[in-house]
Structure 1
Amino acid sequence: MNFRPAALGLLVLLAAGCASVQVTREISQEERAADRLLAEGRHADAARAYEQLAAGLRGHARYPLLLRAADAWREAGELERARVLIDGIGPRRLADDELALHDLLRAELALADRQPEAARALLGESVARFPHALRPRWHRLRAEALSQQGEHFAAAGELARLDALLPAGERQANQRRIERELARLGDRDLARASAALPAGDPLYAFAGRALTARGLPLPRAYDRADLAAPSVARPPAEPDGYRPPLKLALLVPLSGPLAGAGASVRDGALTAHFGESRRRPELRLYDTAGTAQGAIDAYQLALADGADQILGPLSRDEVQALFSQGELAAPVLALNRVALPPPPGSASFALSPEDEGVAAAERMLRRGLLRVVVVSAGDDSAQRSLDAFREHFRARGGEILTEARIAEGTLDYAPVLRAALAAAGGGEGRHDAVFLALRGPQARLLVPQLAIAGFAGRPLIATSQILQGSGDPRLDRDLDGIEFPEHPWLLGSRADLPDPARTGRRLASARGGGARLFAFGLDAYRLAGYLEHLGRQSGAWINGATGELRLDAFGNVLRIPAWGVFSGGRPRPALDGALTPDAELQ
């Protein structure tokens, strides 16, 4: 473990001493120099400097400097050197704030020795006695102690409370750890513990997202009062929650390198707009040119034109630029996801490779396919899907026996597959399934070679990447039996929407790769009228063109895809994977 304190502020706090015992001492130039080393990240050098300074003192006067040396060694990853110093410090001679740091260091050493009970005794049950600069470390260490004791829901709770104390750049890693802790609970335990959380508990947002990813209902709605319609005089919602804006601005790239993607999203949104028989917003289009500055300029122009809701922008750079503005004057439904959370009142919707990786992991786990061989390519989309699959699958108890990487341009996969089979323990009985993160042409070459290499007779589950470069039934017969996540609209499971084949013949933007973005545009437009309903009603969801759509507590639209399977060289609905076609909205 490597827990990073607010080092410089903590040094000032400890150097000044604890207010309750009124310890004051003069800080030498040498000590200030050691402080600078620590602030510069030169932890080992700082530790040596503190030790050298302590060597010039006698008795308990050395303890504060030895304590800081121990903490610097911990920062440097030298826990054993920290242990030697801590063992020589008499805690009764420390000021209160120094004692708090001493107990944190001893707790971390106890956790390194797999002694969570000792760590919890040192930490106590309340953070109140610890200075604010040390509280993030207290929550992290207590979470680790609880996790080592198998109390994963409680550990996730400590990390959820920690989240509000962290700078924005550290929250993503912390939230992944929360997800890993929650993933270790079974469905029943997760649902029961989530339902018992009190209103306002920060863990509920994370627990609710975990429940949704497993297809389980929320015990109660999220508290998303910020999604209420702005102060403009929108008419009341329809009985099903439909409450569109008065003026909706669509921000997409209609020029530049992303113009093709923008046209597909635009045409999907326009199709949904003109297909809506109830009250429709005034819809205006704004070209972002696919750039960050273009997105900001388009947003400002839309505001000047009186838009009360924004749909877009599309690219990650554009969304990052807009979310970096802080609180926005008009709420945004961004069409991509970035590390920054949506500002209050806003949301994000994305066709994310990570979501497909999680969906594939859940599908395997629910079917009892717990030992998996992975075959992937090296492109960015494949790796993003695989990273999410790997983390979710392992956290929920699955085992990845081995991973095989297919190099671009290679035709003979036999050496890679033989090595993978050996790493998996050999023999067909060791693995339950094969997960593929490959494009169609690679998968067509792979499937017959899998059988020859000894991987035959097990389910093959892929990401939607397998549809890239496919489309010829004569060639795609080699893919028969492979399952993949797909938009229900493209599987023919949404009879209430325009037929995808007929739409593709009329609109170039709805053909080929554009079809998925066209469906994305359909759903994006519909979401704009239901965000308030989705955010404030427990269990509310839309059966969209791209999947079942729900909103989590952080403003992210969660998409549960349908499942397809190749049969006769054509994508068809999987028998257990198609969404209910006539359940429009719940």
Structure 2
Amino acid sequence: MIACLRLFTALCLAALLAACASSPSSSLGELPRTPDASIEQLLEQAAQAKSPDKAALLRLSAADMAYRQGNAGQSAQILQQVPMEQLQPGQQAFASTLSAELAMTRNQPKAALAALNHPSLQRLSEMSIPLQVRAGTVHARALEADGQTLAAARERIFIAPMLEGEAASKNHEAIWTLIASLPTDQLQPNGTDDLAGWMSLALAVKTAGTLEQQQAAIDDWRSQHPKHPAAIILPLPLTKLKELASQPLSKIALLLPQDGQLASVGKALRDGFMAAHYQAQQAGQKPPAIVFYDSSHLTSMDEFYRKAQADGVQLVVGPLEKPLVKQLSTRPQLPITTLALNYSEGDQGPAQLFQFGLAAEDEAREVSRRARADGLHRAAIMVPKGEWGDRVLRAFSQDWQANGGSIVATERVDQPVQLAQQIADMFQLRQSEARAKSLQNAAGTNVAAQPSRRQDIEFIFLAATPQQAQQIKPTLNFQYAGDVPVYATSHVFSASGDVNQYNDMNGVRFCETPWLLDANDPLRKQVTAQWPQAAGSLGRLYAMGVDAYRLAPRLSQLKTLPDSRIDGLSGSLGMTQSQRVVRQLPWAQFVSGQIQRLPDTPR
């Protein structure tokens, strides 16, 4: 009797457990499993299925199999044949996730986010772990591609406890990449959850100056957050930082021209570089030794590198000459890590080559960024004729159009006598005058009519010399376009100190180096006291020299920490994947001949 009772109790318990286990399945629906059949066989079975529900599930399995096999087109085609209304909630969530994955193969993050907004995904937490992971992963990818970096990081942090092995490692590194790419002002670690911990780690690393200070900040953070996932397994870039901190820089070669046409440029760069070196000494740091080499008398780069290696050089800063930089960029590798002070034409180069300069292309992209931030969409362009103007035009156009802006007119400036005609053509004033004349002829009498300009130009992107800009702005005023905002590169500003020079440029906005906009910077004060020319347009080169010195020990840091920046005197410095240092610049405008600083562009 007791045995029978035990058997009955066991059977009841088993039935209860079975009911509990099957209840989510019964309410959410059976999900596709990895079938033994081929895609064609699954579709054939679907065509022969007696139940519409069964047919829909078979087609969903076939669509998923096609996606997993890398045939996104076939997968999308099959998925279109699956009626969502015939699926149960779990199957709908599965189909929506697959739809989002297919949208991402087409680089359509907004379509992916729309697919993931299906009501069935509100019950995702009730569904299987694999489906939760799959939906969470594609959601994170779509958010990142849509520019919602913080939301993408939140999604990856949510799925992290569900992952194992390689998938867990990849997700861990992806979280750090996302958090590290956030601007410092967005790193607000409120609370004690994992997200706050990631943010406080990124903030600690970004606000530390030297590699040694960064390493100390990481160690302090780990001691305060011993159970955080990033403390248990340090992200790979931070592990690399630790390795870099154990290899201090002790000797730098400064390779610049001392004779020839570039001698004055080389001198300004060298003086700025050494000013930063002496400032570091005065601050009690132990800066590396500097060895000088003359690039204007080089017989070969190979010979230079042999000499530098024999001298114990660990890093080369230079050369400045574009042909030498181009030559280095074509080599498979370099004997010593090198920070060239110019840019090659291609994006590729050896792993040991970094490139830094005062590229006009950086400023063109800065104008694009600023105009977008100011809510503008339609641009007209004025650049000088020639190769330089073409490069600036290309850089602006690519960035502007890639971010949704449109270009409604372009003029290449050359002869001053043509300016009035070019601006009239840009604003279609001649057509307006012709219409007025036609009206007069039709009426047979004089008609008072002021020419009207086209209204679809929201601003003008201007890259020009100070002399050209001083002619262009008054001509715009004369041609009834004085109210159109002008956004310019730094080339419109000569920094001559002559107020009268800029009286006709009222309202023109331009980006410029912090060096020329902040006369109170302590290092700038020291330099201009010794070399007064550094307060003028040559100051940009002194600033570049200072920044080359500050970049030298932090090249690997910029490469290792994606989207981290150094606030320099030539701009806010970041690095591209091709190891080119790029600048973002502050802004000013001309007001009654004076320079008025504007708020910085939001990052």
State the TM-score, normalized to the length of structure 2: 0.58
2:462 partner letter: L
1:370 partner letter: H
In structure 2, the gaps of 5 or more residues are: 1-69, 79-101, 114-141, 157-166, 188-197, 206-234, 433-451
Tell me, in whole angstroms, the C-alpha distance in 2 between the residues paired with 1:355 and 1:253.
Answer: 24
Tell me, in whole angstroms, the C-alpha distance in 1 between the residues paired with 2:426 and 2:186.
Answer: 35
In structure 1, the gaps of 5 or more residues are: 1-103, 108-115, 123-141, 154-181, 238-242, 581-586
Q: State the partner residue of 2:265.
A: 261
Match of 1:251 among 248, 255, 266: 255
- 1:519 paired with 2:479, answer no
Tell me, in whole angstroms, the C-alpha distance in 1 between the residues paired with 2:485 and 2:523.
Answer: 32
CA shift for structure 1 position 327: 2.3
Q: State the partner residue of 1:378.
A: 385
Q: State the partner residue of 1:546.
A: 570
Match of 1:273 among 272, 277, 281: 277
Q: State the partner residue of 2:362.
A: 355
Q: Secondary structure at the match of 1:327?
A: coil
CA shift for structure 1 position 149: 9.4
Cα 1:195–1:482 change in 2 (3 A) is farther
Cα 1:518–1:405 change in 2 (3 A) is same
CA shift for structure 1 position 117: 4.9
Tell me, in whole angstroms, the C-alpha distance in 2 between the residues paired with 1:536 and 1:226.
Answer: 10
Q: Secondary structure at the match of 2:253?
A: strand
Q: State the partner residue of 2:326.
A: 320
Alignment of 1:24-39 (within 5 A): none
- 1:387 paired with 2:394, answer yes
Q: Deviations over 1:284-328 (max 9, x none)?
A: 11111187x554433332122110111111132212222333222
Match of 2:106 among 146, 156, 170: 146
Match of 1:492 among 503, 518, 525: 518
Q: State the partner residue of 1:460.
A: 486
- 1:450 paired with 2:473, answer no
Cα 1:560–1:196 change in 2 (3 A) is farther
Q: Is the 8 A contact 2:181 2:563 kept in 1?
A: no
Match of 1:436 among 462, 478, 503: 462
CA RMSD of aligned residues (A): 4.6
Alignment of 1:221-300 (within 5 A): 236=245, 245-276=249-280, 277=283, 278-289=285-296, 294-300=300-306
Tell me, in whole angstroms, the C-alpha distance in 2 between the residues paired with 1:579 and 1:371.
Answer: 20
Aligned identity (percent) is 26
Q: Which has the higher contact order (CA 8 A, sep 6+)?
A: 1
Tell me, in whole angstroms, the C-alpha distance in 1 between the residues paired with 2:146 and 2:502.
Answer: 38
Tell me, in whole angstroms, the C-alpha distance in 1 between the residues paired with 2:428 and 2:401.
Answer: 21
CA shift for structure 1 position 274: 1.0
Q: Deviations over 1:190-232 (max 9, x none)?
A: 665588788779x98xx98x9789998899799668976999x
2:106 partner letter: L
Greater share of helix residues, 1 or 2?
2
Alignment of 1:212-227 (within 5 A): none
Tell me, in whole angstroms, the C-alpha distance in 1 between the residues paired with 2:154 and 2:332.
Answer: 33
Q: Is the 8 A contact 2:495 2:536 kept in 1?
A: no
Tell me, in whole angstroms, the C-alpha distance in 2 between the residues paired with 1:324 and 1:447.
Answer: 43
Tell me, in whole angstroms, the C-alpha distance in 2 between the residues paired with 1:284 and 1:346.
Answer: 19
Q: State the partner residue of 2:581.
A: 557
Q: Is the 8 A contact 1:288 1:294 kept in 2?
A: no
Q: Deviations over 1:358-393 (max 9, x none)?
A: 111010001101112212211333322221111111
Of the two, which has the highest radius of gyration?
2
Tell me, in whole angstroms, the C-alpha distance in 2 between the residues paired with 1:476 and 1:318.
Answer: 38
Tell me, in whole angstroms, the C-alpha distance in 1 between the residues paired with 2:292 and 2:243.
Answer: 21
Q: State the partner residue of 1:528.
A: 552
Q: Secondary structure at the match of 2:427?
A: helix
- 1:301 paired with 2:301, answer no
1:453 partner letter: Q
Q: Is the 8 A contact 2:317 2:548 kept in 1?
A: yes
CA shift for structure 1 position 340: 4.5
Tell me, in whole angstroms, the C-alpha distance in 1 between the residues paired with 2:186 and 2:390.
Answer: 27
1:577 partner letter: D
CA shift for structure 1 position 249: 0.6
Tell me, in whole angstroms, the C-alpha distance in 2 between the residues paired with 1:311 and 1:195.
Answer: 41
CA shift for structure 1 position 560: 1.3
2:466 partner letter: G
Q: Secondary structure at the match of 2:106?
A: helix
More displaced 10-residue stretch of structure 1: 435-444 or 348-357: 348-357
- 1:577 paired with 2:600, answer yes
How many residues align? The count is 409
- 1:402 paired with 2:425, answer no
Tell me, in whole angstroms, the C-alpha distance in 1 between the residues paired with 2:577 and 2:111.
Answer: 24
